[in-house]
Amino acid sequence: MSSKDIDWSTLGFEYIKTDLRYVSIWENGKWDEGTLTEDNVVHIAEGSTAIHYGQQCFEGLKAYRCKDGSINLFRPDQNAKRMKASCDRLLMPEFPEDRFIDACKQVVAANEAYMPPYGSGGTMYLRPYLIGIGDNLGVRTAPKFMFSVFCCPVGPYFKGGLTPTNFVISEYDRAAPNGTGASKVGGNYAASLYPGKIAKDREFSDCIYLDPATHTKIEEVGAANFFGITKDDRFVTPLSPSILPSITKYSLLYLAEHRLGLKAEESDVYIDKLDEFKEAGACGTAAVISPIGGIQNGDDFHVFYSESEVGPVTKQLYDELCGIQFGDKEAPEGWIYKVK
Ligand SMILES: Cc1ncc(COP(=O)(O)O)c(C=O)c1O
């Protein structure tokens, strides 16, 4: 698809082939210099550990077109650090942070024609990934690795955007108590497909996972973190070793405290104490801030602020976060990296 065929206003969260992606290969203890390529098909050995043993990880971040025409990347250093943590957990070599950021910049600049314009509601989603490749058979770490970044213009991840949608508690777990829940690795997402389908078949946006040890506390909202605003104005988001440490979540913790003057904390969110919250939402790079209308838990359906309207605190957080990302509000030191 050529950039001129894109209707920015109807963009969803779908793959659109862009012109160039970045690829670098690790072999004999070092990464090569990396290159941009037009080829969007990955040719790898049939014995690659990424295919058989899930030795792979990925990231997700966005580029934003600003009013003045410049392009912002939001906290790519944090994605580089999280990818390093995923690599450590899966015995893969890290891709250096400065090169990670440079690769993201190169990919956005090379595909600038696909950048959604300021004000269109669209953004450019970047997908860095690192996979074990090369000839192999047994369960062991790969002899070679590939790091790549591609990008796609995207619109909202959950259909509602800022209109609340409903979620259902899953009886399945996405991660084990001491497993890989905190790493951004494909296995967690493969495990989430079936519970996600059950939720969507029931017309929910997605499912909510409880903590795998006790099934009493909220952990993740599909592929996003949970947050709630309590009736006494605290911003609360779950603290757990088995959830993905969301960069959006940590940004909102900061903004809730320093820009909105709320108390902000990571703590347990018990499923039988949802009455403490006046508003709730899902947050993430793709989800941005998606208000939660209600949560179905067995036969019980709990509504937060409203099933049809975003709550005022959630809206304030959304305006603050997006204002920073699109360059309309002053960013905390070090949050924005300019592509151009
Ligand atoms: C399982 C899961 N939780 C939370 C998030 C949100 O993380 P971030 O804000 O870094 O995008 C993601 C990714 O977007 C995710 O896949």
Q: 3-state class of 51 per DSSP?
A: helix
Q: What pLDDT, on a 0 to 100 scale, did the predictor assign at position 161? A: 77
Residues 88 and 193 in one domain: no
One-character DSSP codes across 206-237: EEEEEPTTTS-BEEEETTEEEEEEETTSEEEE
Closest C-alpha to 104, from 65, 66, 75: 75
Distance 54 CA to ligand 1 centre (A): 19
CA nearest ligand 1 atom 7, residue: 246
Q: pLDDT tier at 10 (50, 70, 90 boundaries)?
A: confident
Say whether pLDDT at 1 is over 80. Answer: no
Angle at 160 between CA 170 and CA 298, to 5 degrees: 25
184 is known as an active-site residue: yes
What is the reported pLDDT for 156? 77
CA of 94 to the centre of ligand 1 (A): 20
Q: Which of 154, 183, 203 is the last residue of a domain?
A: 154
Instruction: Give the residue, out of 207, 246, 250, with the most ligand 1 atoms within 8 A of its beta carbon, to mutate for a pocket test.
Output: 246
pLDDT tens digit sequence for 145-176:
999 999 999 987 777 679 999 999 999 999 99
User: Alpha-carbon distance 156 to 122, whole Å?
Assistant: 8
pTM over 0.85: yes
In this model, does residue 332 exceed pLDDT 70? Answer: yes
121 and 202 assigned to the same domain: no
- Residues having CB closer than 6 A to ligand 1 are 60, 220, 223-225, 244, 246-249, 284-286
Asked if residue 338 is part of any domain, the answer here is: no
Question: What local confidence, expressed as pLDDT, does residue 308 receive?
Answer: 95
User: For residue 147, what are the β-bridge partners?
Assistant: 24, 130
Within a domain: 334: no
**CATH number assigned to the domain comprising residue 47:** 3.30.470.10
Tell me, in angstroms, the distance from the centre of ligand 1 to residue 285's CA. 6
The active-site residue, picked from 84, 105, 144, 184, is 184
User: Position 194: which residue type?
Assistant: Y
Query: Considering 154, 176, 210, which residue would you say is the last residue of a domain?
Result: 154
Q: Which two tokens stand for residue 55?
A: 């030795």
Q: Report the pLDDT value the prediction gives residue 232, as an integer from 0 to 100.
A: 96
245 with 239: CB under 8 angstroms?
no
**Boundary-marking domain end, from 117, 132, 154:** 154
Quick one: which atom of ligand 1 is closest to the CA of 184? Answer: 16
178 and 319, same domain (yes or no)? yes
The verdict on 195 and 130 lying in the same domain is: no
pLDDT in tens, 216-268: 999 999 999 999 999 999 999 999 999 999 999 999 999 999 999 999 999 99
Q: Which domain range does residue 132 map to? A: 3-154
Q: Identify the DSSP state of 143.
A: S
Clarify whether residues 187 and 123 are in a common domain. no
Q: Examine the domain organization and report whether 306 and 227 are in the same domain.
A: yes
Q: Tally the domains of the chain.
A: 2
Q: Are residues 138 and 188 in the same domain?
A: no
**pLDDT reported for residue 223:** 92
% of the chain residues with pLDDT over 70: 99
The region that residue 13 occupies, defined by phi over 0 for left and psi between -120 and 50 for alpha, beta otherwise, is beta
Distance, CA 246 to ligand 1 centroid (Å)?
Answer: 5
